[in-house]
Amino acid sequence: MNTPAKTSDQSRMNAHSVMFITKRPDVVMIEGKGSWLTDQSGKRYLDFLQGWAVNCLGHSNPGMVAALTAQAQKLINPSPAFYNEPMIRLADLLTSNSCFHKVFFANSGAEANEGAIKLARKWGQLHKHGAYEIITFDHSFHGRTLATMSASGKPGWDTLFAPQVPGFPKADLNDLDSVKKLISPKTVAIMVEPIQGEGGVIPCTGEFLRSLRELTRDENILLIVDEVQAGFGRTGELFAHQLYGIKPDIMTLGKGIGGGVPLAALLATEAVSCFVAGDQGGTYNGNALMTAVGINVIEQLLAPGFLQDVKEKGLFFRTELLKLSDEFHLQGERGEGLLRALILDREIGSKLVDMARDHGPDGLLINSPRPNLLRFMPALNVSKDEIQLMCSILRELLKKVA
Ligand SMILES: *Cc1c(COP(=O)(O)O)cnc(C)c1O
């Protein structure tokens, strides 16, 4: 890269009009290719964040770029009042590869979850005498709108921006009794992440998720899976609930479905799809430009061997992380496929994140959703060499802090 180096002062100066919402490091990202990002000074970073599990095919994937540019030249947005070709094709690809029959496209995971909440409440009005409560879980994450923040079990979010949207009692993950205690005639659904992502990569046990399916069927309430993070090939299955062999009533997708562009979806079975005209919509929803990219992404994921490869690399990654855990007497690792966490022995997660980014000559991008663990969400087409390189940089850092 021959971009001239700029002083950090210049990048700070350029950012003063950007509203503060979080502490950001003093770098400006300029370009990305595959598993690598480059900043304004020409420094490269091995990216095991990938826009928060978003760029499932890495940065600027050529197939996606081709789909995006071809569609941009043909038709960008005919308005949500009309069908468009990519919208219809992507909906068909999603239903023919899942247990669902209907798809509503959205622009973010939170918006897809808002749609799921509305659909469940509507179904409750029609079939359950106005039942509206949706049981969710402690430490869950469903988005940043008021309703999805209320549905989330993030500590502190119950009072931030109070009052909350009512109707989201919280149970404990992997504790069926805690769910049963909350069921009442007001209950319309249970919403769960098959693997809690922001909560720290905590999978539902198979027994728990299968019991939730039985319980919801017996009680005639809906099972909603939020697969915004764990879905779309991340676990090595196209959808995370397929690992568990269950069929939910509603599923939400985001992040990986667009491979980096704003695209999300709400999927539901025929029996549950009860919106009537005027209930749901949105200016950009199902626009041709984003759904055309979505088609390319799912076609690449469904190519022979792709998901099998994700599973194999997940196992390889697991082995490498366990080696690190042994070497440095850490607490092991967990996750599925290429959504994994290394559990540390101390609360040094954010320190390691900073050290990894500042590491030279190449930096490393990782994340620490809890102080005692590191989370990894590489591109699904990451190479074994890149996984090994990630682990060797991490090894250096762990030696330094030992
Ligand atoms: C990221 C995430 C969301 C929110 O998605 P946005 O696109 O940021 O609105 C919802 N649920 C889960 C499980 C997520 O990981």
Tens of pLDDT, residue by residue over 102-149, are 999 999 999 999 999 999 999 999 999 999 999 999 999 999 999 999
> Position 107: which residue type?
N
143 CB within 6 A, ligand 1: yes
136, 152 contact by CB (below 8 A)? yes
Do 370 and 364 meet the contact criterion of CB atoms below 8 Å apart?
no
**Cα(13)–Cα(136) distance, integer angstroms:** 43
Looking at the CA of residue 148, tell me the nearest atom of ligand 1.
Answer: 10
Level-2 CATH architecture, domain 75-301: 3-Layer(aba) Sandwich (3.40)
- pLDDT confidence band for 14 (50 / 70 / 90): confident
CATH topology of domain 8-60+308-401: Aspartate Aminotransferase, domain 1 (3.90.1150)
Distance 153 CA to ligand 1 centre (A): 13
Whether 2 has a pLDDT exceeding 50, the answer reads: no
Tell me the pTM: 0.95
**Residue 110, ligand 1, Cβ within 6 A:** yes
- Which range among 16-20, 67-71, 142-146, 348-352 shows the weakest confidence by mean pLDDT? 16-20
Ligand 1 site, residue 140, Cβ cutoff 6 A: no
Position 144 scores a pLDDT of 97
At 315-368, the pLDDT tens digits run 999 999 999 999 999 999 999 999 999 999 999 999 999 999 999 999 999 999
* 339 Cβ inside 6 Å of ligand 1: no
Which pLDDT score, from 0 to 100, does residue 15 have?
84
From the CA of 197, give the closest atom in ligand 1.
15
Q: Sketch the domain layout of the chain as residue ranges.
A: 8-60+308-401, 75-301
142 C-alpha vs ligand 1 centroid, how far in Å?
Answer: 6
Cα distances (Å, whole numbers) of residue 125 to 75, 112, 299: 38, 20, 38
CA–CA distance from 288 to each of 97, 160, 198, 252, 320 (Å)?
21, 36, 30, 20, 41
What number does the ligand 1 atom closest to the CA of 111 have? 9
Q: Do domains 8-60+308-401 and 75-301 have the same CATH topology?
A: no
For the cut 70, the answer to whether the pLDDT of residue 7 exceeds it is no
97 pLDDT above the threshold of 90: yes
Phi-psi group of 166: left, alpha or beta (phi > 0 → left; psi -120 to 50 → alpha; rest → beta): beta
* 3 state DSSP class of 119: helix
Structure tokens at 352: 């390691």
Residue 231 Cβ contacting ligand 1 at under 6 Å: no
Across 16-25, 181-190, 216-225, 259-268, least confident range? 16-25
Which atom of ligand 1 is found nearest the CA of 198? Answer: 15
Q: Which of 255, 235, 228 is nearest to 339 (CA)?
A: 235
Whether the CB-CB separation of 228 and 259 falls below 8 Å is answered with no
Between 5 and 52, name the one with better pLDDT. Answer: 52
Q: Which atom of ligand 1 is nearest to the CA of 227?
A: 13
DSSP type of residue 342: E
CB of 197 within 6 A of ligand 1: the answer is yes
Average pLDDT of the residues of the chain: 95
Nearest by Cα to 117 from 222, 203, 196: 222
Q: Is the model's pLDDT at 270 over the cut of 90? A: yes
Q: What is the pLDDT of residue 9?
A: 46
